[in-house]
A and B are shown apart, each in its own frame.
Chain A
Amino acid sequence: MHETSIALEILKTSETVLAQHGGSRILRVKVAVGELSAVEPELLRYAWEAVTVGGPAEGSRLEVDFLPARQFCPTCGPVARAPGAWVPLCLSCGAPLLVEGGNELDLVQVEFEVDGEKP
């Protein structure tokens, strides 16, 4: 389960961001996960709960923005499909489809609290 290693990397970077901004506690972290990144959002959230225990991100929310990959037909253009469902060939012309995007694995935003400036 490599989601644990990935959650640890998110935590490390989030703590650096927290320190840079003089914050005391992490409230929410937003990440972007592409459909082809081989990361399962639900497992990543479980891993986040586990790796944040005892630190400044304990109890924080991990928000996962799941980004689909896009499939294209070289002649007919973009193909509509259900997430996770891979269509091998274009339903209109039968040509093998091409794939674009879906490889994202990014830390997007960190929301935090600063001691003495609580809302």
Chain B
Amino acid sequence: MSPTADVRAQILEANRQAAEALRTRFLQEKTLVVNLISSPGSGKTTLLEATLARLSGKLKTAVLVGDIATERDADRIRKLGLPAYQILTGGACHLDARQVQGALEKAGFGALDILFIENVGNLICPTSYDLGEDFKVVLLSLTEGDDKPFKYPAIFARASVALLTKVDLLGIVDFDVEAVERQIRTLNPHGEILRVSAKTGEGMEAWCRKLEHALVAKRA
């Protein structure tokens, strides 16, 4: 019998420590941090554009964007005159806490009210990585189909807010909103579900209020 060592260590321990350091920093700086996770094309950047437009003038915001290639998404935010920094992951399908640490040093955003992290577009890999955020938000657009929560349960179980996006397409695409909401509640009974359309503005008020309340709660 060869010697064995019983370990019981979290596999993502190094990431957990980096995320803890980020959490402490965000608490000291009193910055609310929101990690947006979804499939490509579900409307993360469009939602951010609409959100930032509503919050600008009231709150100081910035965006960290993770993508495998191109600065396109960060450029879209910069066009609004707001700070954004693009993290190119070089092929990796998710952001990790050490990448966020490095990006924050380079970005030099200064004091912020809300930092948005737009994660690499997929419903699987980003789920496993704590980035020191206050909460995860999962986006599901109406064009993706109404079976996704049960097909990708992990992210729906861990995100404290689920945004059903592109609800202006209700009635145009086959999507049973109530069935999806039931699936999400099964996976996460305490999570919040909001129906939004960045295009028509539906639900944007409630979403922005949710962010402002979370910021106030963090600073209380």
Check if B186 sits within 8 Å of A13, measured CB to CB: no
Check if A86 sits within 8 Å of B94, measured CB to CB: no
Query: Complex Cα distance A87/B149, Å?
Result: 11
Q: Which of B6-14, B19-27, B192-200, B205-213 contacts A (4 or more CB under 8 A)?
A: B6-14
Of A2, A111, A117, A119, the contact of B124 (CB 8 Å cutoff): A2
In the complex, number of A-B residue pairs with CB atoms less than 8 Å apart: 113
Check if B4 sits within 8 Å of A108, measured CB to CB: no
* A98 on the B face (CB < 8 A): yes
Query: Complex Cα distance A112/B3, Å?
Result: 6
**Residues of A close to B201: CB separation below 8 A:** none
Interface residues of A in 47-99 (CB under 8 A from B): 69, 86-89, 96-99
Given the known interface contacts A36-B154, A105-B128, the answer about A89 and B14 at a Cβ–Cβ threshold of 8 Å is no
Please tell me the number of chain A residues within 8 Å of chain B, measured between CB atoms: 41
Check if A105 sits within 8 Å of B12, measured CB to CB: yes
Nearest B residue to A31, CB-CB: B11
Nearest A residue to B15, CB-CB: A9
Of A10, A36, A86, A119, the contact of B2 (CB 8 Å cutoff): A119
Check if A13 sits within 8 Å of B4, measured CB to CB: no
**Residues of B close to A113: CB separation below 8 A:** 2-3
- Distance in angstroms from B200 CB to nearest chain A CB is 29
Given the known interface contacts A6-B11, A17-B7, A96-B186, the answer about A27 and B93 at a Cβ–Cβ threshold of 8 Å is no
Check if A2 sits within 8 Å of B92, measured CB to CB: yes
**Residues of B close to A21: CB separation below 8 A:** 3, 5
Sample of 27 A–B contacts (CB below 8 Å): A1-B125, A2-B93, A6-B128, A9-B12, A9-B14, A13-B7, A13-B9, A13-B13, A27-B2, A38-B124, A38-B127, A38-B154, A38-B155, A39-B128, A86-B183, A86-B187, A97-B186, A99-B187, A103-B154, A103-B158, A106-B10, A107-B10, A108-B6, A109-B5, A112-B2, A113-B3, A117-B3
Give chain B's interface residues, CB within 8 Å of chain A. 1-15, 92-94, 96, 124-125, 127-129, 150, 153-155, 157-158, 179, 182-183, 185-189
List the 10 shortest-distance A-B pairs measured between CB atoms, nearest first. A2-B125, A86-B150, A38-B154, A111-B4, A38-B127, A36-B154, A107-B9, A96-B186, A107-B7, A88-B186
